[in-house]
Structure 1
């Protein structure tokens, strides 16, 4: 008789270790599993309950479509993945991709290894200026190309701005002039938001049973962002230097 597979939550960094311990990979489900019960060494990756398809308090209508969605400089490189325990991240991203039927929620594309197009999770936030709180309100599935558009400033650092602009035009139907205005307006909004040091509200995750590591405190995020940018660009370009006491920067 066939034995039901025992699913595992294996972080990417631990896949080789899990494979050596006897785990197998299901290409269709894109998930690791134990082929039989009782394999010593695989218990540490035993799957927990699936994350609910609608996170508590999540707004699935927020921020639909493709647009430049720049994160304030106070939260650069402090994304959801950096705050979630690796095994819980695996549970979370699996839910995000599954409810999107493994398609990009902006352009409809699927994963294509030959085209180097992956599926990735992206955060949508709301901003309460009075309370200085940046609240996670939605998680969406984007392909690599659409994700590059949303983080247009990072695309600039990586030398991908022309490709990102072309993809924005292709998906949205904007004219080149309209696309340029949209990008400029997104940076203006980003500059205004970057003058505030935001407190992160990730309660839609904690209320769903996701384990969080404490995010870096606001006072250290600027240093983390600067170090990460140096790693990306081999040195912080002039446009990324701090603007006086506000700590706002000119590009994401």
Structure 2
């Protein structure tokens, strides 16, 4: 039976004991991990904030992925470490710093390209992508040329022959065999979608850079992974890779009953899949791991981890604080997590021969989904691991003034390798130095090519096949920002290159983009639909520009497009045969 005043019966609270809504948590339950679920503004951040001073006072270590840097601004102390390449205070990091030998290459590769749940093409492409990344990591470390810049250039813009020479003699070399061109193209597309944020890393950093693994083994203080909301989409694959290294390093420690390392992931689903997170939650107790995961909706978690993966992850979080969850699916899932209770009901009947009374025992949800959908702010239900009664709790507000800025931008834009998609050089723009978009670029189509798109040339069936394949190769998310749209996840974008000397418009590949990134690519069409302001904001946010720089870049690209619109272009669709195994369509006005 659930009563609003019920609290788990325990000794009186102590200053060093974690508390949730005034309920003290036994230390033995900390390593069984915590889920804090609820919609935006319901009190998840306050529930976390209430315990940070306690954790700091005990001398525990913390790794926190910090949306907006708001936790770091209030709880940072000298001796803490900041890992955020767009922040001036960040340490210098490289994937090579997590490697002590070639044997570590596969582990680091899986942090960069996490496993895909189940079988099928997507899982196979992920394995091949991991293999190629691991091979490049191994050979660069072995050769002494291990830097972030060399790593990114090789995997995004280098010619296939150059990569093949690097990985010769390793299993990844089979990707370059005759007949494997389509697989190689798919693999490079997957890798390219994971690496945009790596351009923000110090280009010359390598094996001697600051290391997550070394910090876990012998560092001190707290490790902050702050990111601004505008940076999350671009930074999520990199943050996910960092967290993959965190959990791997913890599982490689010697077991200890005294060690306490907290992994705090507010909005865990928005960071994408973290490799081996479920394994760490399952096995991390003996290494001192304590995890707190914040979640808005079950759908977000399933999108990142798959249906089975999300179920496994939730099962690893033995204590739950459930706040208001308006989403019906989330409310139902959390209602089930809170359990059931037994109720006895008396039933009386009256008849000619007399009256009788019987008792019926029924099993019902302890908290109905509809109750979870209507909770006030900062009110929820707490279910601790073990045989403790369910409690309805109120979360207080923690007041703490910021000690440091949440974000200090770097003085200048980072040196970055060439864009992921290599295109023919556009016409020269006179005047100011050419602006290069590091993450999201425009792709404006000359007016003389208007209407000559692939969708209009292919049959509906062939186009639908290409859409499904492109989305699957990208893992169902945008290749630029890692996000998805509200009405449908991704759209299929045609990437065209231009040979300005030969006047050839060449189809390079197909790319999965969320509707907003896709609309921004074609900012002119966005303006016609009244969405120019939205597109300009997106362009500035993902490229870390101010509004003036974004406008100058658009003007620059418009000038190039106007110049190209003065000429007629010949289309090159050879990639349809080379990669997608389709016949090149003929236009209706072509001679037989």
Could you say whether these structures have the same fold, taking a TM-score greater than 0.5 normalized by the shorter chain as the test?
yes
Contact 2:476/2:489 (8 A) holds in 1: no
Corresponding residue for 1:69? 443
Corresponding residue for 1:22? none
Q: CA 1:216–1:132 in structure 2 vs 1: closer, same or farther (change >3 Å)? A: farther
SS in 2 for 1:196: coil
Q: 2:550, 2:575 → 1: CA distance?
A: 32
- Pick from 456, 468, 474 the counterpart of residue 94 of structure 1: 468
- List per-residue Cα deviations over 1:50-87 (Å, max 9, x = no partner): x945559x986316831121011111122111111211
Corresponding residue for 2:527? 156
Q: 2:183, 2:523 → 1: CA distance?
A: 29
- Pick from 511, 530, 547 the counterpart of residue 140 of structure 1: 511
- List per-residue Cα deviations over 1:163-213 (Å, max 9, x = no partner): 111111222211101100111001011011111110100110033321443
Corresponding residue for 2:585? 213
Equivalent residues in 2 for 1:49-128 (5 A)?
Answer: 52-54=182-184, 61-62=420-421, 65-113=439-487, 118-128=489-499
Q: CA 1:213–1:109 in structure 2 vs 1: closer, same or farther (change >3 Å)? A: same
Q: Structure 2: state its 5+ residue gaps.
A: 1-119, 121-180, 193-419, 423-437
TM-superposed CA distance for 1:112, in Å, is 2.4
Give the stretch that moved more between structures: 141-150 or 86-95. 86-95
- List per-residue Cα deviations over 1:209-247 (Å, max 9, x = no partner): 2144324769xxxxxxxxxxxxxxxxxxxxxxxxxxxxx
Q: CA 1:193–1:92 in structure 2 vs 1: closer, same or farther (change >3 Å)? A: same
TM-superposed CA distance for 1:131, in Å, is 1.9
Q: 2:577, 2:588 → 1: CA distance?
A: 17
SS in 1 for 2:586: coil
SS in 2 for 1:153: helix
Q: Structure 1: state its 5+ residue gaps.
A: 1-28, 30-50, 219-252
Q: 1:156, 1:216 → 2: CA distance?
A: 31
TM-superposed CA distance for 1:102, in Å, is 0.6
- Pick from 173, 189, 195 the counterpart of residue 566 of structure 2: 195
TM-superposed CA distance for 1:144, in Å, is 0.6
Q: 1:53, 1:167 → 2: CA distance?
A: 32
Corresponding residue for 1:184? 555
Q: Which has the higher contact order (CA 8 A, sep 6+)?
A: 1
Q: 2:483, 2:534 → 1: CA distance?
A: 16
Q: 2:448, 2:587 → 1: CA distance?
A: 12
SS in 1 for 2:553: helix
Contact 1:84/1:210 (8 A) holds in 2: no
Corresponding residue for 2:403? none
Does 1:171 find its partner at 2:542? yes
RMSD: 2.7
Contact 1:102/1:111 (8 A) holds in 2: no
Corresponding residue for 2:72? none
Q: CA 1:122–1:215 in structure 2 vs 1: closer, same or farther (change >3 Å)? A: farther
Q: Which runs of 4+ in 1 moved over 3 A?
A: 51-56, 58-61, 215-218
TM-score by structure 1 length? Answer: 0.59
